[in-house]
Amino acid sequence: MKINNRTFIVSGGSSGLGLATVQMLVQAQSHVSIFDRSPPPSTVTGPQIKFCQTDITIVTEIEKAIEETVSWTKQTKAILGGVINCAGVGAGAKIIDAQNQPHSLDLWDFVLAVNLTGTFNLTRLALQHMVHNEPEEGLDGERGVIILVSSSAAFEGQPGQAAYSATKGALRSMTLPLARDLARHSIRVMTIAPNMFVSSMTENLPQKVRQSLENDLVYPKRFGQPVEFAETVKWILECAYINGETVRLSGASRMPAKM
């Protein structure tokens, strides 16, 4: 799909991997609607960017933000071409903690509400508009692309990642059925599963934990850079034959069983 003169929704677009994606899309002459609880940095501004303050766990806020975005596309003449679901939270808790207390159900519900249900709601509500797009000129007549963001934890969850791994594994499992559902609308669905990346989540890791994780990396022997995630998004958007798959962005590394 040609990405210039299209509008893309990026949830979690005010920081980290989402922000890098926003910057890539703007550079590629796209319009971007950022759905986030916090605004992006003051340097991220201009006629190609719209910010919609959105709590991804509240359906009415998602609906409002999508309606505002669709109205904006009518002004800019840049149709809604896709959704990149970068909003997410990480939470660590063992099923039974050191005091023999069970995993908090509130924490479980919160992680699912953001990572899984939030992604599902944003995707389904945006799609009701995208399916009406005029097919793109060319061989495949694409109408749009949905990108989900999973994690290496979907494959090799670590101790304390039961809730997080459950959500990221569910996103991975959703990818193929969604792609098959949307084939009749000429809309592709892809998932990216990053390993350890420079982000707000990893910046807060204790130094001992960070060093342990870096020691298990293969090559490159470093955390991924947000721009490398954004470049992967760009490739997915532009390569029409990649569909229904989960791309591991891991540098050949696998998460260890213990930190």
The catalytic residues are 164
3-state secondary structure of 87: coil
Beta bridge partners of 145: 82, 188
Residue in 74, 6, 257, 246 with CA at minimum distance from that of residue 147? 246
CB 233 within 8 A of CB 226: no
**CA dist., res. 198 & res. 214, Å (int):** 12
**CA dist., res. 37 & res. 47, Å (int):** 20
Burial of 101 (0-12, 13-18, 19+ CB in 10 A): exposed
Three-state SS for 103-144 is CCHHHHHHHHHHHHHHHHHHHHHHHHHHCCCCCCCCCCCCCE
Tokens of 159: 């101790």
Instruction: Tell me the DSSP string of 139-169.
Output: SS---EEEEEE--GGGTSPPTTBHHHHHHHH
CB 73 within 8 A of CB 80: yes
CB 146 within 8 A of CB 187: yes
